[in-house]
């Protein structure tokens, strides 16, 4: 942005200012209470419509020079014009180009420093056009030659934000150091970790041979046992089939007495009817 002219009327101590700016840098000098800070506030309000001296719009009347009822500030820049009128706080901007979103931070340095850490980070990343989502960061890590397995592991934590990823990394670091101590009996050290080697345990060849023989014997027992189980399962299946048949026979046998009694009754009735 290039400011080419500033004009104010009854704006705090800048009662009547009309300057053209033809040089890249312009320095305003004067005694105390001569209107230097008022001019700065006038430029800020004309460009942004915001004030740092009063917090409420209904208090804009306090920005008018003493003894006056109206005031204004006009700033010409880049072939456009921005203005503020007091005390109603009417803010106008003529031109097709929108003012930069970072302009309020340029005109008020304390505004950026008062932001929370996460908001400052988001502001700077947006200003530089950087993306910080998990997929973008993961892709850049892969481009730099990082292990893709580790990138895939950290990518979900990056989606939750850098703070969440940082806490997760701290947790894993603590777990890794605890595992180191449990394994080595020593306190973790990044230098000695690079050269540390486990003590080679004593080796008894005879015990290894006996263990292998025992392992072979057990494997043979398992194989024989599996074959026996298969035989028993087959026998159990046949027995289950026979049990079903026996149950059917018993059901039929239980009906025999009733059928026999019915038969005798029907035969006696038949004889009567035959007679």
Q: How far apart are CA 152 and CA 133, in angstroms?
A: 14
pLDDT score at 104: 83
pLDDT score at 49: 87
> Rounded to the nearest 5°, which phi and psi values hold at 242?
-65, -35
> Rounded to the nearest 5°, which phi and psi values hold at 81?
-145, 135
Return the H-helix or E-strand segment holding 229: helix 205-254
Of 68, 26, 30, 62, whose CA–CA distance to 43 is shortest? 26
End-to-end CA distance of the chain: 133
**Sequence-distant contacts of 37-40: CB under 8 A, at least 24 apart:** 37/12, 37/13, 38/8, 38/11, 38/12, 38/13, 38/14, 39/6, 39/8, 39/11, 39/14
Specify the CATH architecture of the domain 3-99: 3-Layer(aba) Sandwich (3.40)
Instruction: Give whole-number Cα distances, 90 to 37, 43, 86, 98, in Å.
Output: 21, 14, 7, 17
pLDDT score at 6: 95
Give residue limits of the domains in the chain: 3-99, 131-194, 217-269
pLDDT score at 244: 92
Extract the runs of DSSP E, i.e. beta strands, from 120-275: none
Instruction: Give whole-number Cα distances, 109 to 34, 102, 103, 113, 163, in Å.
Output: 23, 11, 10, 7, 26
β-pair partners for 20: 5
Sheet holding 80-86, edge to edge: 14-20, 3-11, 71-77, 80-86, 90-94
What pTM was estimated for this model as a whole?
Answer: 0.50
pLDDT score at 161: 73
User: pLDDT tens, position by position, for the chain (275 residues)?
Assistant: 899 999 999 999 989 999 999 888 989 998 998 889 999 999 999 998 888 888 888 889 999 998 999 999 999 998 899 999 999 988 898 877 777 778 888 888 788 888 888 888 888 888 888 877 777 888 888 999 999 888 888 888 877 777 788 888 899 889 988 888 888 877 777 777 777 777 777 778 888 899 999 999 999 999 999 999 999 999 999 999 999 999 999 999 989 989 999 999 999 999 999 99
Q: How far apart are CA 50 and CA 94, in angstroms?
A: 17
pLDDT score at 64: 92
pLDDT score at 238: 93
List all residues 6 or more positions away from 78 whose beta carbon is below 8 Å from its beta carbon.
Answer: 1, 2, 95, 97
Which tokens belong to 200? 């080679």
Q: How far apart are CA 34 and CA 44, in angstroms?
A: 18
């Amino acid at each position: 942005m290039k400011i080419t002219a500033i004009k104010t009327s009854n704006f705090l101590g800048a009662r009547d200012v009309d300057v053209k700016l033809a040089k890249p840098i312009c320095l305003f000098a004067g005694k105390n209470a001569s209107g230097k800070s008022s001019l700065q506030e006038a430029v800020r309000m004309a460009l942004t419509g915001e004030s740092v001296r009063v917090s409420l719009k209904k208090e804009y009347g306090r920005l008018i020079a003493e003894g006056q009822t109206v005031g204004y500030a006009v700033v010409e820049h880049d072939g456009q014009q921005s203005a503020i009128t007091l005390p109603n706080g009417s803010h106008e901007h003529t031109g097709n180009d929108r003012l930069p979103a970072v302009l309020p931070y340029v005109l008020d340095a304390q505004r950026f420093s008062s932001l929370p850490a996460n908001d400052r980070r988001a502001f700077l990343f947006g200003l530089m056009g950087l993306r910080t989502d998990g997929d973008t960061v993961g892709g850049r890590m892969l481009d730099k030659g990082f292990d893709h397995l580790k990138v895939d592991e950290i990518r979900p934590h990056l989606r939750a934000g850098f703070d969440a990823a940082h806490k997760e990394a701290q947790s894993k670091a603590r777990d890794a150091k605890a595992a180191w101590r449990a394994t080595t009996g020593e306190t973790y050290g990044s230098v000695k970790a690079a050269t540390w080697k486990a003590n080679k345990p004593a080796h008894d060849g005879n015990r290894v041979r006996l263990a292998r023989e025992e392992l072979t014997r057990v494997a043979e027992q398992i194989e024989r046992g599996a074959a026996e189980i298969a035989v028993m399962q087959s026998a159990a299946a046949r027995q289950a089939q026979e049990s079903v048949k026996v149950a059917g026979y018993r059901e039929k046998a239980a009906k025999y007495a009733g059928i026999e009694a019915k038969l005798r009754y029907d035969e006696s009735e038949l004889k009567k009817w035959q007679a």
